[in-house]
Structure 1
């Protein structure tokens, strides 16, 4: 009987382990997310894209390919997909954890028009970031940018969702439209508040490709429940850039945020506070190490208080991060903290690439927490109670 019970238990374990419900999608590139794979016996002119379901005017474009006098930009590798009028690519994602938030990273470039955009969706989902990513502003001289978008997977729907990218535009030339490349996914973890701020060190965020020399843009209109940067939202009309220490200068840890486009790119969070209590909002600011022209300055807001922090001039070409803080008294049980660049900065070696100051290590400390009795008084009180 004991042997039979062990066998039944082992079979049950093996069945559970082999069930797709118990599997989670891996962090990293999607199946043929770089569009390098071609259909068997096919070529780039074929509209069959392995791993993807397509509709509309789809074209696989190759690096160096021309359209008239224009060279079509392929972000990385040899191939990418171009979405013409109302065209769409879709991939079924299996093994999603219900209720979890997933960040999708992708590279995109414009072709014929300046007002091109991408509509992104994951069906079914509980919540999604803004479905439209505007490609009008090109943040780098490369002619393309990497973006992050996020969605919260629905619960109780067999652990899957259909991820789709669609060109909503209608151009005179039906083949005109955005180029899409390097699509990856990452399951996000929402860390608990540390020092009063969720993800104040920015260590949790979207998938960053190992060779991502441009960082990853976080578009505006991000909902807190489906932000690719847990705890934070991006306000106004422009993006901010999620960077890592592999390619950029980061004040502490591995990741931080570079503020772009002045007041048009605001990073914010709603934090819990106690009305009437004084607080200190501390953070680090510094350069990204991407040849961003001085001066660099950050505007910081907390409740009804604001401050402008100017980075110190570089010393012999080197500038490390510097600490900064803002004191305020809370007037409600929730307080908005926010950061944006004061100036519209560009790189000294490339005037068409946007850049700005870096923010990291954001902390919210209650001044009242330091107003307790001195340690010696506590010790004397304990001695009296004991003896």
Structure 2
């Protein structure tokens, strides 16, 4: 049986690579059996519980793991939906699932994306690791009406192979209680770099994690320590438990290019980048503020800060897209300056889900002046 499972996984890996048109290196897109449509044989299930470590092709499991079909009812009457395909995996107390990533390029950067949904506890979280890096993704805040959110995590490859592990560290009275996970994908992301005429890296957010064609709600980029690899090269997200959302032009209105960031957590979360500056010299920070065309129809306010200067920019959103440009001039006070963006308030759509202003096309230039002033748009 184990040989049959390995054969199915190898076939999936070949098909994924062929579809991506790559001869070597890991392909951008879904991981082999990343949406769990290849499941255990009936003999490897006890109800919904998976009984063998290698029963799910391309994955290894540990602990109380269930193979869930979309529309399945829980004991409490909740119906479990699945974001992609017809199946997902549920991680019970202390349970984990892992897949070996192959054909990685050493010292290259990668982002992992997947979807997750709470099923019981209010403070669920997931431990994500690609050894030796690891991180904790808080999933207690739900940002979509479906209950499913998509998350991103990034790492720098140390070797050509590595184990991706997702673990539920929770311990609940019900051993099966834990989040559902689905839709795993990977993407190579570039090291942070400057575009010509911009002191900031990745100021237009065009380099970022993989958003699948069937993902209508964007990706959450969770808070991270300063030494973590960011799924948004060049940018950090500072918060205790809240995230920003990475959105694409295929499913949202984006001010510039193909991607932008939606600030969905109010002042509890900051999007920031540190740039090298010269104390006493003047700089101009330019950026776009708008709405994602997702029904967030209300005045949306963003606070931009740098050194001792700040500016609040309001965009009168109709919820159908659109944006405005804004500028902030400031005098640097040190050889490094943090550029910070925060949403001024918590905003909700009519369905009760969180939304917020979109920030995009951010640039920083020296204006070679010694007196700072603000330009209000």
For the 8 Å contact 1:167–1:177, the answer to whether it is kept is yes
Task: Determine the structure 1 residue equivalent to 2:36.
Answer: 35
1:206 lines up with 2:209 in the alignment: yes
1:353-372 equivalence runs, <5 A: 353-368=353-368
Q: Distance in 2 between matches of 1:42 and 1:188?
A: 40
Gap regions ≥5 residues in structure 1: 1-21, 371-387
1:113 lines up with 2:133 in the alignment: no
- Secondary structure in 1 matching 2:177: coil
Aligned partner of 1:310 among 307, 314, 337? 314
Task: Determine the structure 2 residue equivalent to 1:380.
Answer: none
1:220 lines up with 2:228 in the alignment: no
CA displacement 1:38-63 (0-9 Å, x = unmatched): 24566873622111011100100111
For the 8 Å contact 2:290–2:317, the answer to whether it is kept is no
Task: Determine the structure 2 residue equivalent to 1:60.
Answer: 67
Task: Determine the structure 1 residue equivalent to 2:339.
Answer: 337
Q: Distance in 2 between matches of 1:312 and 1:121?
A: 41
1:94 lines up with 2:102 in the alignment: yes
Task: Determine the structure 2 residue equivalent to 1:281.
Answer: 285
Q: Distance in 2 between matches of 1:25 and 1:201?
A: 25
1:49 lines up with 2:56 in the alignment: yes
Q: Distance in 1 between matches of 2:253 and 2:344?
A: 20
Task: Determine the structure 1 residue equivalent to 2:80.
Answer: 72
- CA shift, 1:75, in A, is 2.4
Q: Distance in 1 between matches of 2:369 and 2:311?
A: 23
Gap regions ≥5 residues in structure 2: 1-22, 371-377
For the 8 Å contact 2:253–2:293, the answer to whether it is kept is yes
- Secondary structure in 2 matching 1:142: coil
CA displacement 1:83-115 (0-9 Å, x = unmatched): 011111111111111111110000000011111
1:165 lines up with 2:172 in the alignment: no
For the 8 Å contact 2:193–2:234, the answer to whether it is kept is no
1:234 lines up with 2:228 in the alignment: no
1:295 lines up with 2:299 in the alignment: yes
- CA shift, 1:224, in A, is 5.4
- CA shift, 1:72, in A, is 2.1
* TM-score normalised by structure 2 residue count: 0.86
- Secondary structure in 2 matching 1:263: helix
Q: Distance in 1 between matches of 2:332 and 2:266?
A: 26
* TM-score normalised by structure 1 residue count: 0.84
Q: Distance in 1 between matches of 2:175 and 2:262?
A: 36
For the 8 Å contact 2:94–2:168, the answer to whether it is kept is yes
- CA shift, 1:331, in A, is 1.0
Q: Distance in 1 between matches of 2:194 and 2:173?
A: 51
- Secondary structure in 2 matching 1:309: strand
CA displacement 1:137-157 (0-9 Å, x = unmatched): 111111010000111111xx4
Relative to structure 1, is the Cα distance of residues 359 and 113 closer, same or farther in structure 2, using a 3 angstrom cutoff? same
Runs of 4+ with >3 A deviation: 39-46, 222-225
Q: Distance in 1 between matches of 2:100 and 2:292?
A: 37
- Secondary structure in 1 matching 2:299: coil
Kindly report the root-mean-square deviation, in angstroms, between the aligned alpha carbons of the 2 structures: 1.9
Q: Distance in 1 between matches of 2:139 and 2:229?
A: 20
CA displacement 1:315-334 (0-9 Å, x = unmatched): xx765211001110011111
CA displacement 1:150-202 (0-9 Å, x = unmatched): 11111xx4x11010001101111111111000000011112421211000000
Q: Distance in 1 between matches of 2:282 and 2:207?
A: 28
CA displacement 1:57-76 (0-9 Å, x = unmatched): 01001111111211123222
Q: Distance in 1 between matches of 2:42 and 2:323?
A: 54
